[in-house]
A = this chain, B = another copy of it.
């Protein structure tokens, strides 16, 4: 069923407030299997609202209109809707009485402004709003269904979840089967090119969403293409298997949970401890490892040795060693991890050194970065050569660090250590 969303409000059109209602509705409607044709935002002038509603009604059969149901002068959605659809506005004593009750409960005075909320378009069904004064409205005209919803996000969400969702379920048979994968350490375009080579079933819609130093891949089958539920599941499963076996080094999850949450949970459940020794990441890895409540169960501490003297004095690295290999080197990363492991005595130590940028550092180009991961006397190293700009270089490295800890613990688990 073709669906459209109209959001009204001068605070939205002037960019002062983020239009979170449309995102909420789109997400929930999409999950129910509705296809959103468009989302249009306009100001609160009656003429603008009217035009926007007319356009939305042209291309959709289910239309959600949000905002402008309040008691003030700039609340004109009902009037605009009535004009667009050639309806009259009627005064409802039922709503008037309801309003009087609400104000009595609030122990507030009702103004004549508030009574404007008792007018509604002919034929509208009133949906009680238990969270505010403006009731929502449902109206059916020429096989199209309209919902007028208040703009206050908490009221809209409440009404949608508790009163409207159940009215929609019968409207769509178009249930979708969706599968998601999260990747770290591979770019969107490279991933897309590699996925293309897998020649997955053509009934699949594959979409990519680049996050912060990670990529999400979505597999989806639209019911309009294949109807058999078992066949759909089979296609999704086969594609999932291929993807997993081809990208096992990069996939860290299939459930929408971010890498930090995964690392947090696994460190706690395995009762492992960790510390960091950081140069160019400047404390970022420590900061991320302590982001979640309960992180004191696994995180001991960090030495951020930004200056060369601090690498010598706190991490006990010989100045001759630093001179020989340079601070931006695999050798330096290893030494940082080794020495920090002696200092912190944790199960894991992550050490980072590199040239974050924007300019070269210690004779190495910006974006030359090293990670060393200590575990039980052994050290794995990772050389990263990517230059996405200083901030992203640091964050990218922290993502790789989290991914590699997670993978190492998982491997250890598989080997029953």
Which A residues contact B (CB, under 8 angstroms)? 10-20, 22-30, 36-43, 48, 52, 55, 70-74, 105-109, 111-114, 131, 133, 152, 187-190, 192-193, 207-210, 276, 278, 280-287, 289-293, 295-296, 299-307, 309-310, 313-314, 343-344, 356-359, 367, 385-391
CA distance A30 to B14 in the complex (A): 6
What are 13 A-B pairs with beta-carbon distances under 8 A? A15-B24, A15-B26, A15-B36, A17-B209, A18-B23, A38-B42, A39-B40, A111-B192, A113-B189, A282-B283, A283-B285, A301-B314, A310-B344
Complex partner residue of A23 from B19, B73, B343, B356, CB under 8 angstroms? B19
Contacts of A29 in B (CB 8 A): 15
| Nearest chain B CB to A8 CB, angstrom units | 10
Q: A72 contacts B189, CB within 8 Å?
A: yes
CA distance A70 to B29 in the complex (A): 27
CA distance A359 to B295 in the complex (A): 12
A15-B30, A40-B40, A207-B11 known; A306+B310 contact, CB < 8 A? no
CA distance A55 to B112 in the complex (A): 39
Given contacts A38-B41, A107-B385, A302-B303, 14 further A-B contacts (CB under 8 A): A14-B27, A15-B22, A17-B23, A19-B39, A71-B189, A109-B190, A111-B193, A112-B193, A114-B189, A283-B284, A286-B306, A299-B306, A300-B310, A310-B344
